[in-house]
Amino acid sequence: MENEGQEKESEIVTEVNLKEDFQASGVADILAELDNSLIGLTPVKTRIKETASLLLVDKAREKLGLVNESPTLHMSFSGNPGTGKTTVALKMANLLFRLGYVRKGHLVTVTRDDLVGQYIGHTAPKTKEVLKKAMGGVLFIDEAYYLYRPENERDYGQEAIEILLQVMENNRDDLVVILAGYKDKMDKFFESNPGFRSRIAHHIDFPDYSNNELLEIAEVMVASMNYHFNEESKKAMAEYIKIRKKQPHFANARSIRNAIDRARLRQANRVFNNSEGPIGASFLSQIEDIDIRQSRVFSGGIDK
């Protein structure tokens, strides 16, 4: 009996079944979810799939005793606002959890304000508190470049960066840090903080959405709120996207969300003013083109 047990054990150690591991980890579900729930972002999806297979293979190699050091998982997401960085970070946290690289898989989202204190001695405890909260999961630092303010040499951001780097290096098994922000500012940030650059293994760029992708996103958003477009309002939305994209402060999917929220407001107003007698569910959830065309964007103004 004892010998049999030993034989089985040695079998497990000399062979791994990647397909089985893949199925068991539930990574396939997440990748499929990523594909279905996010529109566009093909380069991002490809990168994530590559990363997932790398991590899966690494885990298998670890089982066979081929690697003894845990890989660096810290990442940087760069791209314009509203391109889905936070959403992908959330999925990434789940992915790393399923692969067994983080223990809890929760996402803690912070900005400069949560890390940097206002007076001497305030920064270190604040940063440590956040880091502790993120342990076992993923720390997502939005607009990370604001941590470093070279124009003010007494800025406490540097202190936060030092603690961050130290924990990123020493507690690699405990948490994964994802830095996010605009591409050009992130590049500058990494240039002036080489420590970060070398500690981050995965740089992922988020491209802007095309007009068609934005329209698709609009439809998904509307459907998720239990509203729907008709032919005319869809056309109006497409035109809205075309015009809005050329205006300043365009924030991709976030701008679309805001536009839809305002369209819902106008729709509610219209329904309320025009309703006489009982109305059905389809009337209540129909967004007409007038609801969209009333937007200031069409008359040359700016929707925020």
For helices 18-25 and 27-37, what crossing angle results, to 10°? Answer: 60
Least separation in angstroms between residue 102's CB and another protein is: 9
| Residue 93 CA from chain centroid, whole number | 9
Least separation in angstroms between residue 228's CB and another protein is: 39
- Does 271 help bind another protein (rule: CB under 8 A)? no
Residue closer to another protein (CB basis): 95 or 287: 95
Element (H, E) at 141: strand 138-142
- Does 104 help bind another protein (rule: CB under 8 A)? yes
Residue closer to another protein (CB basis): 40 or 137: 137
- Does 175 help bind another protein (rule: CB under 8 A)? yes
Asked if 157 and 189 touch (Cβ cutoff 8 Å), the reply is: no
Alpha carbons 36 and 30: distance in angstroms, whole number: 10
Give the chain's largest Cα–Cα span: 84
Q: Which stretch in 9-17, 54-62, 134-142, 192-200 sits in contact with another protein by CB under 8 A?
A: 134-142
- Does 228 help bind another protein (rule: CB under 8 A)? no
- Does 155 help bind another protein (rule: CB under 8 A)? no
Which residues, other chains included, contact 25 with Cβ-Cβ below 8 Å and sequence gap of 6+? Answer: 56, 98, 99, 100
- Does 137 help bind another protein (rule: CB under 8 A)? yes
Q: Which stretch in 46-54, 99-107, 243-251, 291-299 sits in contact with another protein by CB under 8 A?
A: 99-107
Which pair of structure tokens corresponds to residue 299? 């008359």
Residue closer to another protein (CB basis): 71 or 207: 71
Helices (H), the chain: 2-14, 18-25, 27-37, 42-63, 85-99, 112-115, 123-134, 157-170, 183-192, 194-199, 211-224, 231-246, 252-274, 281-284, 289-293
Which pair of structure tokens corresponds to residue 107? 């996402």
Number of residues engaging another protein in binding (CB under 8 A) = 13
Asked if 106 and 138 touch (Cβ cutoff 8 Å), the reply is: yes
Q: Which stretch in 45-53, 71-79, 102-110, 209-217 sits in contact with another protein by CB under 8 A?
A: 102-110
Q: Count CB neighbours of 23 within 10 A.
A: 12
Least separation in angstroms between residue 103's CB and another protein is: 6
Alpha carbons 46 and 54: distance in angstroms, whole number: 12
Of positions 49, 103, 257, 266, contacts another protein by CB under 8 A: 103
Q: Which stretch in 16-24, 141-149, 170-178, 206-214 sits in contact with another protein by CB under 8 A?
A: 170-178
- Does 245 help bind another protein (rule: CB under 8 A)? no
Q: Which stretch in 131-139, 148-156, 185-193, 215-223 sits in contact with another protein by CB under 8 A?
A: 131-139
Binding-site ranges for another protein (CB under 8 A): 103-104, 106, 131-133, 135-137, 171, 173-175
